[in-house]
Structure formats: structure tokens, C-alpha cells
């Protein structure tokens, strides 16, 4: 079992830090399809730089290492109890070494278990089979994309598309709609798994099961193959683009499966996965526990590191505006949607727990003129009790929509950084108070960790590592203004234009 445990540690570390080959190829294709100089092209450059940095640092690609979900197929007689114990031990170990963020939170008390173990975490599923080896697969699916999963019950009425009936064309409409409703919030461009049929539970399970397929396989069922190809081609006409900034690629992969249903129910379930599609697998010898072969590793491996060096010579950077807190209202009012800013100096992290806390309590520090970063980092303490940032990309900002505007006004905060954009309430507050929303590239956790030069302090540690308020000193932290103090929002514009584009897919296609 010791070897099996070591194999599991390796599986977790590799999955968290190195994207599989099929995923790299899909991202490379998207990159080649964007026009140089656009926001989408810039974002994809950051994404591929980040992939290369994660390879090199053997550190998490994204700070949200998600809900670890293992799927094991085992020969009859293999001891599942022992395997489960070894997997749990491996999870705790990978958390201790900073390859996983402590992500297991008590749903009633809010307490973080600190080692990723707890009721329901990790998810481990076993299946017996006739083969003589163990097939072990792992997916680390983050929370932002998980929140964009969606389940439709047919028939239904859909924005832009009208009625979706109980047939293949109705299914087509649901799947197109699922990509539209995700906008950039699940760190598009994404991959989707579609589950047709089943009940509410087995439908979602089937959808997630599709995410274990190679992105390049061909569906043996002709109707499903047609559906997959249709969606992949046409969802990319929605113009949502990388991070929802607009652009040519919105979807990187679509895989669909179908199971039977009962007459009254007709569910279409969609599991959305961000570009940081972390899933790997291995064949393991059941006697020795050793790795026999890695899965998803056929074909060419794209090493983005080489491209980083080449691209650095070519790119002329867009004009960047330096921002350093404390920021004046005048400075904020001079910023407009589309401006690229480079932040130097201090910023403070604050996500779900902090926003709720600040809505009911005083701030632990003076936030006047300051910058709040929606981020739950991976942190490690060294032997001298000093904290280090191991991964620190933005989290989905829309969750703070109920609080954000009020908090900015009350504490004098001038800028918030996050991803995916915010809604009408925040936009109004930015206008009234003089604030901006800055979009960072979701998932680019190594890229941003590199911009953080020191950890100057931390407050509210009782909320656990991802939710505490970290005081970070940064250098050249780049972000784009996507909501300004003049009532403009790139997110609102893209949502509107993509809804109009969605409507072109209203007419029946599969008869």
C-alpha cells in the first residue's frame, strides 16, 4: 500500500500542476485563432505563461484546487478500504506541501478542516472490472466553474432561443444556452460535459463522467457526435471569449452522453469546466501499487515555456497606467473600460467570508483609498513562521454582488480586483462613489503569485486560509478596467451582444 499511496501523491501533484496534453492542444488552438493585440489574445498569453510557470514551479495552476474527485476501476479482490485510506493520506500530504489549497469547509460552522479531509471530501468512486490493473483517474474541478453547471428540465423556455422541446433539438438549445449563461464567470474558454436523461442526480453524474473523456475522442453514437460537433462550432460564435472579454473562442470542448429516463422526466445536465481543466489518470499494478502508465498523455505535448520566450520579443505592451494605493477619487474617475492598469504597492484579499463580515463589522485596517482583491490564495508558512504565497489568482466576483457597493462606500475602497465582472448594483455604486472594477485573468495563479513580493500581514484568520484577509505587497500586477465610474461595463455589453448572437440559433437544426 505504501507504493499505492506514493502513486496517489504523484497523481494529485501532477494533476494540480501540469495540464494534460489534450487540454494544452485545445488552448493552443484557441490562442492561434485570436487576433494579435486583442484582449482575448492578451488573456490567452497570460494563461499560457501561467501554464508554463506551473510546470516549472511544480505549483498549482489555479489556486482553487477544487473538489478532488477520484474514479477508480479495480480488479475483483483489490482492497478498496485500504485504497481509500491511502488516497486520504495522499490528499493530506499534498495539502501540507502546498499542491492543494485547504478546501474542505464545514457547511454548518464554516470551519476549514485544513487538510482537505472531511465528510464528503474528497470524492472517491470505485467500480469493479474484469481487467487485471487499476485505472485511477482524478479531476480537480474548481468552484467557479462548478457554480456554472446547469440542469434543464424539458420542455422549457430559454432566453434567446425560445421553446426547447423533448427532442434532440431541444437538447441542442439547452446546451447552447448553458454556454451563454456561464458568460466568462467559469473562466472561459471552457469545456462542457453534457448528460442527457437520468434523474437529477444521475444526469449530473453522467455530465461529469463526460469530463473524463479525452477531449479529442470521437463519440461512437452518431446523434451525439453531431451534437458535440455542432455545439463546439456554434458556441464559438457567441463572442463571449476568454474570460468573457469577447473573442473567437468561448468553448474548447463538448462531450455528451445519454442514459435512459423515466417518462415524466427529461433532464439535460451540463457540467462546465474552466480552461484550467485538471484531470489525469494512471494505470496501476494492483500487486505492487506502482504506476504502469499515465493516461491522457498521447500525442504532442505543447511546452508553452518555449513560446513565452519567443512571444516576449514580439509583443509591444499596451499602454499601462500605474495604480498605487491610496488612490484618489480623481485618479479613479480618469480610468475607463479597456484601460490596462499596473498595480504597485499594497492590496488586501477579501472574498465571501470577509464581505459578509465587513457588512456587519468594522474593518480590521483602514481601507480608505485601498484595493480589495477577490482572492483565496494557497499559502505556506516556512520554518521561521513567515507566510509565502504559492498560488493567487482571482475568484468569481459576482458572489460579492449583494455586499460590494455598500462596502466600498462605507470604507472608502476605490478598486476591487476579481474576475467575471459584477452586476448593476455594483456598477451604480462605482458611479456614485468613484470606484473601478478590475478584471484579472482567472486561473492564472502562478502568474499573479509572482507579482506578489511579500506578505505584510493577515487578519481574520479564523475564516481559514482561503478566506482570511491577506495584506499583499505587489509589483506590476496587471489588470483590465472592465467596469468604470462612468456607468460602463464590458460584462454588461458582452452579455447583451452574446444574447443577440444566441438568438440566431433559435430555428430547428435537428429534426
Ligand X SMILES: O=C(O)C[C@H](O)C(=O)O
Q: Which residues bind ligand X (CB under 6 A)?
A: 63-64, 142-144, 376, 395-396, 442
| Contact call for residues 225 and 485 (beta carbons, < 8 A) | no
The gap between the terminal CA atoms of the chain, to the nearest Å, is 54
Shorter beta-carbon distance to ligand X: residue 64 or 450: 64
Stretch that binds ligand SF4, among 4-12, 17-25, 140-148, 397-405 (CB under 6 A): 140-148
Alpha-carbon distance 64 to 396, whole Å? 11
DSSP string, 142-195: -HHHHTT-EEEESSEEETTTEEE-SSHHHHHHHHHHHHHHHTTTT-SSEEEEEE
Question: Judged by CB under 6 A, does residue 192 bind ligand SF4?
Answer: no
Phi, psi of 427 (to 5 degrees): -60, -40
Shorter beta-carbon distance to ligand SF4: residue 98 or 160: 98
Shorter beta-carbon distance to ligand SF4: residue 414 or 419: 419
Question: At its nearest, how many Å lie between ligand X and the CB of residue 252?
Answer: 16
Going by DSSP bridges, is the β-strand pair 415-418/371-373 parallel, antiparallel, or unpaired? Answer: parallel
Among 12, 129, 3, 140, CA closest to 72? 129
Stretch that binds ligand SF4, among 139-147, 257-265, 324-332, 370-378 (CB under 6 A): 139-147
| Contact call for residues 432 and 453 (beta carbons, < 8 A) | no
Shorter beta-carbon distance to ligand SF4: residue 257 or 393: 393
User: Which of 276, 327, 335, 408 lies at the binding interface for ligand SF4 (CB under 6 A)?
Assistant: 276
User: Which of 393, 412, 435, 466 lies at the binding interface for ligand SF4 (CB under 6 A)?
Assistant: 393
276 contacts which partner out of ligand X, ligand SF4, none, CB within 5 to 8 A by kind?
Answer: ligand SF4
Stretch that binds ligand SF4, among 58-66, 297-305, 375-383, 494-502 (CB under 6 A): 58-66
Stretch that binds ligand SF4, among 10-18, 35-43, 61-69, 214-222 (CB under 6 A): 61-69
Q: Which three cell numbers stand for residue 276?
A: 484550467
Shorter beta-carbon distance to ligand X: residue 190 or 434: 190
SS (H, E, C) 474-510: EEEEEEEEEECCCCCEHHHHHHHHHHHHHHHHCCCCC
Give me the count of residues in the chain: 511
Phi, psi of 390 (to 5 degrees): -100, -25
52 contacts which partner out of ligand X, ligand SF4, none, CB within 5 to 8 A by kind?
Answer: none
Residue 50 half-sphere exposure toward CB, CA atoms < 13 A: 30
377 contacts which partner out of ligand SF4, ligand X, none, CB within 5 to 8 A by kind?
Answer: none
Residues 210-269 that bind ligand SF4 (CB under 6 A): none
Alpha-carbon distance 134 to 287, whole Å? 10
Question: Judged by CB under 6 A, does residue 62 bind ligand SF4?
Answer: yes
60 contacts which partner out of ligand SF4, ligand X, none, CB within 5 to 8 A by kind?
Answer: none
Shorter beta-carbon distance to ligand X: residue 219 or 395: 395
376 contacts which partner out of ligand SF4, ligand X, none, CB within 5 to 8 A by kind?
Answer: ligand X
Sheet of 67-75, strand order: 123-129, 67-75, 134-141, 278-284, 291-295
Question: At its nearest, how many Å lie between ligand X and the CB of residue 368?
Answer: 26
Question: At its nearest, how many Å lie between ligand SF4 and the CB of residue 56?
Answer: 19
Question: Judged by CB under 6 A, does residue 281 bind ligand SF4?
Answer: no
Element (H, E) at 21: helix 21-33
Question: Judged by CB under 6 A, does residue 203 bind ligand SF4?
Answer: no
Alpha-carbon distance 373 to 449, whole Å? 13
Number of residues located near ligand SF4, criterion CB under 6 A: 14
User: Which of 20, 98, 184, 186 lies at the binding interface for ligand SF4 (CB under 6 A)?
Assistant: 186
Q: Which residues bind ligand SF4 (CB under 6 A)?
A: 62, 64, 66, 142-145, 186-187, 274, 276, 393, 442-443
Amino acid at each position: 500500500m505504501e507504493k499505492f499511496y506514493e502513486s496517489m501523491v504523484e497523481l494529485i501533484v501532477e494533476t494540480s500542476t501540469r495540464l494534460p496534453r489534450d487540454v494544452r492542444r485545445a488552448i493552443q488552438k484557441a490562442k492561434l485563432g485570436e487576433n494579435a493585440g486583442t484582449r482575448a489574445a492578451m488573456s490567452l498569453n497570460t494563461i499560457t505563461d501561467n501554464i508554463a510557470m506551473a510546470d516549472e514551479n511544480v505549483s498549482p495552476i489555479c489556486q482553487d484546487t477544487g473538489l478532488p474527485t477520484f474514479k477508480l476501476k479495480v480488479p475483483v479482490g483489490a482492497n478498496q478500504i485500504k485504497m481509500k485510506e491511502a488516497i486520504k493520506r495522499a490528499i493530506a500530504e499534498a495539502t501540507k506541501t502546498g499542491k492543494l489549497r485547504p478546501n474542505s469547509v464545514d457547511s454548518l460552522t464554516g470551519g476549514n478542516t485544513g487538510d482537505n479531509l472531511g465528510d464528503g471530501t474528497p470524492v472517491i468512486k470505485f467500480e469493479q472490472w474484469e481487467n487485471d490493473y487499476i485505472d485511477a483517474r482524478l479531476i480537480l474541478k474548481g468552484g467557479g466553474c462548478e457554480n456554472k453547471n446547469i440542469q434543464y428540465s424539458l420542455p422549457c423556455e430559454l432566453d434567446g432561443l425560445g421553446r426547447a422541446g423533448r427532442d434532440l433539438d431541444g437538447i441542442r438549445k439547452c446546451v447552447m444556452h448553458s454556454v451563454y449563461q456561464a458568460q466568462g464567470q467559469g473562466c472561459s474558454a471552457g469545456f462542457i460535459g453534457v448528460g442527457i436523461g437520468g434523474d437529477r442526480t444521475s444526469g449530473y453524474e453522467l455530465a461529469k463522467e463526460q469530463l473524463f473523456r479525452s477531449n479529442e475522442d470521437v463519440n461512437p453514437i452518431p446523434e451525439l457526435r453531431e451534437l458535440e460537433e455542432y455545439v463546439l462550432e456554434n458556441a464559438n460564435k457567441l463572442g463571449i471569449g476568454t474570460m468573457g472579454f469577447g473573442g473567437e473562442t468561448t468553448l474548447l470542448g463538448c462531450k455528451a452522453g445519454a442514459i435512459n429516463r423515466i417518462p415524466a422526466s427529461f433532464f439535460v445536465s451540463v457540467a462546465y469546466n474552466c480552461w484550467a481543466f485538471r484531470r489525469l489518470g494512471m494505470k496501476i499494478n494492483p500487486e505492487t501499487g506502482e504506476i504502469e502508465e499515465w493516461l491522457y498523455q498521447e500525442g504532442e505535448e505543447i511546452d508553452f515555456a518555449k513560446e513565452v520566450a519567443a512571444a516576449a520579443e514580439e509583443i509591444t505592451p499596451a499602454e499601462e497606467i500605474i495604480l498605487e494605493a491610496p488612490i484618489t477619487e480623481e485618479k479613479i474617475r480618469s480610468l475607463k473600460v479597456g484601460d490596462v492598469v499596473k498595480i504597485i504597492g499594497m492590496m488586501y484579499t477579501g472574498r465571501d467570508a470577509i464581505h459578509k463580515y465587513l457588512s456587519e463589522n468594522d474593518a480590521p485596517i483602514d481601507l480608505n483609498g485601498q484595493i480589495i482583491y477577490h482572492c483565496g490564495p494557497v499559502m505556506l508558512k516556512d520554518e521561521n513562521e513567515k507566510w509565502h504565497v504559492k498560488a493567487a489568482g482571482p475568484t468569481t466576483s459576482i458572489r460579492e454582488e449583494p455586499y460590494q457597493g455598500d462596502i466600498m462606500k462605507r470604507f472608502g475602497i476605490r478598486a476591487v480586483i476579481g474576475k467575471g465582472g459584477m452586476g448593476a448594483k455594483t456598477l451604480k455604486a462605482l458611479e456614485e462613489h468613484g470606484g473601478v472594477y478590475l478584471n484579472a485573468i482567472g486561473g492564472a495563479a502562478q502568474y499573479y503569485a509572482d507579482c506578489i513580493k511579500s506578505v505584510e500581514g493577515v487578519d481574520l484568520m479564523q475564516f481559514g486560509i482561503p478566506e482570511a484577509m491577506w495584506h499583499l505587497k505587489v509589483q506590476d500586477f496587471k489588470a483590465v478596467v472592465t467596469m468604470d465610474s462612468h456607468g460602463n461595463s464590458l460584462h454588461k455589453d458582452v452579455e447583451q451582444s452574446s444574447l443577440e448572437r444566441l438568438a440566431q440559433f433559435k430555428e430547428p437544426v435537428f429534426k
